[in-house]
Amino acid sequence: MTAQTTKSPQLANKTPQLVGKHPDTRHGVILYVEDVNLSFDGFKALNNLNLYINKGELRCLIGANGAGKTTLMDVITGKTRPDSGKVNFGQNIDLLSMDECEIARAGIGRKFQKPTVFEALSVFENIELSLSGDKGIWASLFYRLSPEQKDSIDNILRTIGLVNEAYYPAGRLSHGQKQWLEIGMLLAADPKLLLVDEPVAGMTGQETERTAELLTSLAGERSVVVVEHDMAFVRSIARQVTVLHQGSVLAEGTMNDIQSNPEVIRVYLGEETDH
């Protein structure tokens, strides 16, 4: 352990952001999105977007279909480049200068809507693979886990509530359990910021409730941004809610602030309750 944390002479004099790329969150902010613009064939998907996510917070992002929520996640994770603006991880890490792998390695995990677990492998093995990172599937499966790695998988299994299913093939899990496993796989990389797009779509009521508990428990140690249309779910987890509309922030505040905001009711909530 000591050997790993000792800086080499070449690195010792460099600024902290160049050593291991740790986000500088001394101002309490883990993600800065400033004046971001992105057009697709002249259509402004993101329009002078400004968003700040605090260290350790759980933020819900809501907005009508096409508001730009997924596009924002694409920009943060390096999948799509904006036309202009600034996206920083902490004060020091410029995400726009990094590719998707570098961004993931810096500590940003993203969960897509569709679970992508290895169905033939056990729940435990799926997490084991994520833990071992770039080694590849065969090397990882025959590689001996250290007691610390085994403990960390056990901790993840407890967090995601799949201790009893640890040795089931992932293909036998319910839709909700697969979603939790995928969150567990992301946790193996110990992200500091977790982006989760529509986590409860297709879940049963009980699965939705457990997902609310899980995401709430993940915040604190890390920051979590959740995009979701299910308003009851958002209400059950939200501290701060940001409403996106046509690629910009329309409103930000507690769920009560948001639900009584006339603009939000007009462009989003009103429309939702009409269905």
Ligand X SMILES: Nc1ncnc2c1ncn2[C@@H]1O[C@H](COP(=O)(O)OP(=O)(O)OP(=O)(O)O)[C@@H](O)[C@H]1O
Residue 65 touches which member of Mg ion, ligand X, none, C-beta under 5-8 Å by kind: ligand X
**What is the closest distance, in whole angstroms, from the C-beta atom of residue 69 to Mg ion in the complex?**
5
- What is d(CA 176, CA 173) in angstroms, rounded to the nearest whole number? 8
Amino acid sitting at position 96:
L
Q: Please, which residue, 56 or 66, has the CB nearer to ligand X?
A: 66
Q: How open is the CA angle 212-170-143, to the nearest 5 degrees?
A: 110
Q: Which is nearer to ligand X, 70 or 126 (CB)?
A: 70
Closest CB to Mg ion among residues 70, 223: 70
Tell me which amino acid residue 195 is: L
The helix or strand, by DSSP H or E, that contains position 244, with its residue range, turns out to be strand 240-245
Binding-site ranges for ligand X (CB under 6 A): 40, 45, 63, 65-71
Q: Which of residues 68-87 bind Mg ion (CB under 5 A)?
A: 69-70
CA–CA dist 143, 139 (Å, integer): 6
- Residue 63 or 115: the one with the smaller Cβ distance to ligand X is 63
- Give the amino acid at 94: D
- Cβ-closest position to Mg ion: 70
Closest CB 153 distance from ligand X, rounded Å? 32
Residue of 255, 273, 157, 160 whose CA lies nearest to 207 = 160
Rounded to a whole number of angstroms, the minimum distance from the CB of residue 72 to Mg ion is: 9
Residues that bind Mg ion (CB under 5 A): 69-70
